[in-house]
Amino acid sequence: MAAEAQAESQPQQKPAEEKINNNQDVQQLKYLQFVQFATIHALMRCAILYSYAKERSGPLKTGVDTVEEAVKTVVGPVYDKFHQVPVELLKYVDRKVDESVSELDRHVPTNVKNVSTQARSVVTEVRRAGVVVSASGLAKTVYSKYEPKAELCAVSAWKKLNQLPLFPQVANVVLPKAAYCTEKYNEAVVLSAEKGYRVSAYLPLVPTEKIAKMKIKIESERNLDPLSIEDLFV
């Protein structure tokens, strides 16, 4: 009786052992887990689709069962012999990917790693405080940090553009329209902030007064008419 009970318990233990082994295979994969999960998901969908088609086959169901049994008889031994090959191949590729990543990590400069760390900290902050709040703080930080450099670049670019033929005449035509659009943008940002829209928190205002002063200074340095720029951003 004890031998029979043990024999009956062995088939029940085998699926559990296979399940544990499959879980270990998934855990051992470091980079390619998504491939295994995607394959399992696709096979499950194919099995569901096959079962549905089989149930709807009507009078052909008997023939389908016959073909299915024949396929199991032929393919079954081959599957039992080689079904671990794709898993082992996936493990091998995963190990190679891990080796490549480790080798690449040794050659990556420290400053690049620091940027990656900062990016991860930003992601953590976004998860903790929310997208809008984090984007607002990040936008304001970037704007305050790079605004002086942007001003210097703008001054240099404006000086070079003024050396081009016909540029001052074109600027006389374009600048009033640009000034009008800029004022409308600033008014929209201020109005959205007054209404409590969160998006206004990370929309910077265009510094029209600074732009006007910079242009006047540049034109005065070149001893040219300042093109009435002081009137553009009033």
pLDDT tens, the chain, 234 aa long: 444 545 555 545 555 455 445 444 445 677 777 777 888 888 888 888 888 888 887 888 788 788 888 888 887 787 777 777 777 888 888 888 888 877 777 766 665 556 556 555 655 654 555 444 445 555 556 555 556 666 666 666 666 666 677 766 776 767 777 777 778 887 887 887 777 776 666 566 676 677 677 767 666 665 544 444 444 444
Report the helix count and the strand count for the chain, using DSSP H and E. 8, 0
Q: 187 vs 180, 181, 193, CA distance in Å?
A: 11, 10, 10
pLDDT of residue 29: 74
pLDDT of residue 1: 47
pLDDT of residue 154: 64
The two tokens of residue 71 are 């396929």
Longest Cα–Cα distance of the chain, Å, equals 112
pLDDT of residue 215: 66
pLDDT of residue 109: 65
pTM of the model: 0.34
**How many Cα atoms sit within 13 Å of 74 on the Cβ side?**
5
pLDDT of residue 226: 45
